[in-house]
């Protein structure tokens, strides 16, 4: 099963926390975006995030993949106090090839992915031909408000950081 993971952190050692996800999925990664510095989305009175996208081929079911990501979040001592608030680590399943779900535990494709520059820009960097709900990611990026993309900066590939 091919899945798109969006990962992010805005607390503690952000690079090392993202690196734990790269390490966990090292055998499964088909493509990876560079790491980007991004402003917070939704709740803006918090530190900037580091974000990246991984495209992975895994043998797990969608819910097993969700649990795998949640275990990484738990290991990073993520605390869910404030919706869209600060977090040590966030591992979101954005899309799964050939799969959709409206189950509240795992909505696929991710309901906000099409409007989040911190997801779309790294995803486009990882896969220039990617589509979400039949729309080219490049078109979704082009449709973003310039204010949403102005403060997103490429930092480099994970192995360079």
Helix (H, G, I), strand (E, B), or coil: what is residue 28? coil
The Cβ-side half-sphere exposure at 157, using a 13 Å CA radius, reads 5
Question: What residues contact 99, with CB distance under 8 A and at least 6 apart?
Answer: 1, 62, 108
Quick one: tokens of 119?
Answer: 């997801």
DSSP state of 57: E
Quick one: tokens of 6?
Answer: 């969006």
- Domain span at residue 101 reads 2-160
Lowest-confidence region among 43-52, 102-111, 140-149: 43-52
Number of domains within the chain = 1
Q: What is the pLDDT of residue 87?
A: 84
List C-alpha distances in Å: 34 to 52, 113, 158: 6, 18, 6
Residues 21/54, Cβ–Cβ less than 8 Å: yes
pTM of the predicted model, to two decimals? 0.94
List C-alpha distances in Å: 32 to 28, 51, 87, 102: 11, 11, 21, 27
Residues 82-130 have pLDDT tens digits of: 666 688 999 999 999 999 999 999 999 999 999 999 999 999 999 999 9
Looking at every residue in the chain, the average pLDDT score rounds to 94
Q: Is the peptide bond before 15 cis (omega within 30 degrees of 0)?
A: no
Distance between CA atoms of residues 49 and 111, nearest Å: 20
Categorize the per-residue pLDDT at 81 as very low, low, confident or very high, splitting at 50, 70 and 90: low
Query: Mean pLDDT, to the nearest integer, of 137-150?
Result: 96
**Domain CATH code at residue 79:** 3.30.70.560
Q: What is the pLDDT of residue 42?
A: 72
């Amino acid at each position: 099963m091919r899945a798109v993971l969006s990962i992010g952190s805005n607390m503690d050692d952000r690079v090392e926390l993202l690196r734990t996800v790269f390490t966990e999925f090292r055998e499964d990664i088909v493509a990876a975006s560079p790491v980007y510095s991004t402003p917070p989305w939704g709740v803006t009175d918090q530190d900037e995030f580091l974000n990246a996208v991984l495209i992975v081929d895994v043998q797990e079911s969608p819910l097993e993949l969700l649990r795998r990501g949640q275990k990484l979040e738990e290991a990073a001592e993520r605390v869910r106090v404030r919706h869209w608030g600060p977090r040590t680590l966030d591992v979101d399943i954005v899309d799964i090839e050939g799969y959709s779900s409206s189950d509240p535990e795992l909505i696929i494709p991710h309901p906000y992915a099409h409007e989040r520059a911190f997801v779309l820009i790294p995803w486009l960097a990882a896969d220039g031909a990617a589509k979400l709900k039949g729309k080219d990611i490049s078109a979704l990026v082009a449709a973003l408000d310039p204010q949403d993309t102005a403060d997103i900066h490429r930092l480099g590939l994970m192995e360079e950081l």
